[in-house]
Structures are given as C-alpha cells and as structure tokens.
Amino acid sequence: MFKKKLTSILTVLGVISTFFVSPSAAANPLIALTVNGVTITTANAAATPATVSVPADNQIDATDALKFSMSGIAAGTSVSVTVQNAFIISNLSSTLNPVTSSAGTTSATFNVGTGTTAEFYAFTKSSGLGTITVSNSGSTFTYYIRGTAGPAYNLSFTPFTTASTSTIIKYTSKVTDVFGNIVVGVTPALSLINLTSTTPTSTNVEGISEFTVTYPSIPGKSALSLLIVATDSIGLPPAVKQISSFIEVVDANAALAAEKSGRAADKAASDAALAAEKSGRAADKAASDAALAAEKSGRAADKAASDKNIVDLTNNVAALTRQVAQLKALYNKLAIRFKQKTIK
C-alpha cells in the first residue's frame, strides 16, 4: 500500500515538474537596451520608443544609437535583425574607425557560435518612428526607435522676382536639419533693401516661419535676404544657410495697363487669325467652286463636241449611202446597155 502511494506521489511530482522546468535550448535570450549608458525599458511599445539623436555631425556616437546587449542565447544559434526606418551597425564611431551616417544595413545576422551573447547597435536619420525586429531560436522581439532632429541646416524659401508697387505679400520659409527633419523654434534673420517687413516668426511644428513684405509705392529695385545660422558637416552636403533675391518693383497701374494692352493685343491677333482663317476658307471654297464650274463647263463642251461629231458622222454615212446607191444605179444602166449592144 505504501509503495503504491509513493509511486503516485512521484508521478504527480513528475507531471508538475514539466510545467516549471524548460530545456535550456528553448529559453528566451535576455535583451538589455541602453542609449549612452542609460537603460531603456519602454522601447517595446510604439508609443514609448527609444529616443536617440540623429547623426547630424556625420558620426554615429553613443547618443545617436540604441545599443542591444543580448545574453542567454543558445550556443550554435544565430540572431537575425531587421529594421524599418533605421539602420544596424556593429560598432560605434571612433577616431581610428569612424562610422558615418551612410553606414549601416537594414538586415543583419549575428552567428553566436560557442558563445551565448551578442551585441549590436541601431540608429536612425529620421524623426519618424523606426522598428527593430530581433529573432532567435523561434522567438521574436520588436522594439521602436525615434530620432531627434538635428540643428538647423537647410533653409527653403521662394521669393518673388517681380512685384507691384504698394502691394503686401505674405512669405513662408521652412527650416530642416541635414536629413530633412523639421526643425522647430528657429527664427530666420531677414535683411531688406527698399522694403519694409514684419519680423519672421519662429518655425512651428511644421518647420514653417512666416512674415509679410510691403513693397514701395515707387517703381524700382528692391532686395531681400533670409538667413539661418548653420555649420557645415564634413562629408555631408553644404548647408543652405541663406537665400537672397533681387526684386523688380513695377507700377501697379502701368502693370495693369500693360496686362490689359497685352490681352487686347492677344485678342486682336486672335481675331486677325480667325478672320484670315475664314478668308482662307472662303477663298478655298471660291476656288473649289470655280474649279467645279470649269469642270462642268468642260464636260458640257466635250458633250457638245461629241454630239456634233455624232451628227456629222451620221450625215457623212447618209451621204455615202446615197452615193453608193447612185453608183449602183448607174452601173445597172450601163450593164443593161452593154448587154443590148452585145445581143444585136
């Protein structure tokens, strides 16, 4: 009886142990995330991604990358990583081994071999959301990253090259970093010649700054220049720091009169072209009608000549017929006389 109870207890313990003991090969690896030594624990949710700086200086430093430190990996397996809107690198930039913003790949595989650890970095050049997917031994982990825009680098602004006197025009400009990310809070500097203007606003959440320009009441030359403070990054395109434009200010009334005159000239030219086309069509019709009448007249003349030829031919046939009859009658008379003489 005791042996049966002991056997039952051991069986139950064996079943329970299957729920608490897992083979080491099936264990999930541990993944620790850090940015510049600071632990990140919320990057597994899209709403709370890891935040890094974009590599505006063209060097991938510790503040620009999310470090992945993996441990507890089954020996002999590999770690696969794929990213969207981000890049993977194995090492950060150093003096001897610089890593620039053009480095990195969107997928990589790290073979663990006999070890149980792996390490890599992810960075982004975008302030949009990036995704990093890590896979090992059938387990998949997803993390999120977002870049913080770099300093102002490029200015976008399109001024008018001509304007009418006394007009007020609203202008907008946009400021972005070296990778095209929106830069907020930068106020462009404005320089004017023969113009008055409001002060440009600071760039908003869309990177837009606004100001208005009032053009002088007297025609002439004006100029404006918009400027941001920016420092070129080695290895990246030069910054667009300043945009300037000369403006031809024209008399509003003269411009309106010139526009009206131009429209009147266009209408006159259009009317003349239409009249010429109508005249050409009329001339073509008259020529066509004349050609048709000439053809009809020619056909009538041909018919009259043909009819006359038929009448003449008929008359000639009748005359020849009479002559043949006369000759035949004369022959008969002569034949009779010759016969009478021969009989006597």
Three-state DSSP string of 121-136: EEECCCCCEEEEEEEE
Q: Which helix (H) or strand (E) holds 164?
A: strand 162-164
Residue 218's contacts (CB-CB under 8 Å, 6 or more residues apart) are 165, 249
Same domain, 143 and 45: yes
On whether residue 297 sits in a domain, the answer given is no
Same domain, 38 and 111: yes
Number of domains the chain contains: 2
Grade residue 304 by pLDDT with cuts at 50, 70 and 90: confident
Same domain, 208 and 180: yes
The domain boundary residue, chosen from 194, 219, 250: 250
Grade residue 257 by pLDDT with cuts at 50, 70 and 90: low
Which tokens is 324 given?
Answer: 């043949």
User: What CATH number is associated with residue 36?
Assistant: 2.60.40
pTM of the predicted structure, to 2 decimals: 0.67
Grade residue 265 by pLDDT with cuts at 50, 70 and 90: confident
Q: Kindly report, residue by residue over 143-171, the tens digit of the pLDDT.
A: 999 999 999 999 999 999 999 999 999 99
DSSP type of residue 26: G
Q: Kindly report, residue by residue over 67-105, the tens digit of the pLDDT.
A: 999 999 999 999 999 999 999 999 999 999 999 999 999
Please tell me the predicted confidence (pLDDT) of residue 306: 85
DSSP type of residue 182: B
The domain boundary residue, chosen from 148, 178, 210: 148
Looking up tokens 């950060």 gives 92
Distance CA 247, CA 262 (A): 22
On whether residue 126 sits in a domain, the answer given is yes
Report the SS3 class of residue 238: coil
On whether residue 280 sits in a domain, the answer given is no
On whether residue 42 sits in a domain, the answer given is yes
Q: How many helices (H) and strands (E) does the chain have?
A: 2, 18
Nearest C-alpha neighbor of 49 from the set 158, 126, 101, 114: 126
**Structural domain for 50, as ranges:** 27-148
Same domain, 143 and 31: yes
On whether residue 90 sits in a domain, the answer given is yes
On whether residue 85 sits in a domain, the answer given is yes
Looking up tokens 């064996």 gives 14
